[in-house]
Amino acid sequence: MSVTDRTTVTTVNETTEQTADEIEASLRAELSADRWLDVSRLLDAATERISGQYEARNERIVRETAAHFGTMAPAIVAVAQHVRLNVDDPGRLMPDELCRCLEPVA
């Protein structure tokens, strides 16, 4: 974890602001190696689940938006997938190719 944004942490007795790195350091100091491994696995699983939910939501938004455009819907979905691939993997296209695909069509 190398998140440096401050997070408000509320416990039964107090509210403090800590960075994710500070929380991680505190937990590592307090937990056994096995328990820390469990925490890491839980974080990985939660992150994966949230990522999947986010992707599914984005897919629904694209499909629902595209549905408003009738026969253009398949093209809109295809463009959204194309853009997502290139945003997720910017090294996939060379910068000049990326610029060409973003130029307006006359």
The reported pLDDT for the residue numbered 1 is 41
The reported pLDDT for the residue numbered 91 is 63
Instruction: Compute CA distances 104 → 26, 54, 90, 92, 101, whole Å.
Output: 52, 29, 20, 21, 8
Q: Alpha-carbon torsion 17, 23, 26, 31, what sign?
A: positive
The reported pLDDT for the residue numbered 46 is 93
Cα–Cα distance, 85 to 81 (Å, whole number): 6
Answering whether pTM is above 0.95, one says no
The reported pLDDT for the residue numbered 86 is 74
- Over its length of 106 residues, how does the chain's per-residue pLDDT go in tens digits? 444 455 565 555 566 677 888 888 988 999 999 999 999 999 999 999 999 999 999 999 999 999 999 999 999 998 888 888 777 666 665 555 555 565 555 5
The reported pLDDT for the residue numbered 2 is 41
Place of tokens 């974080």: 43
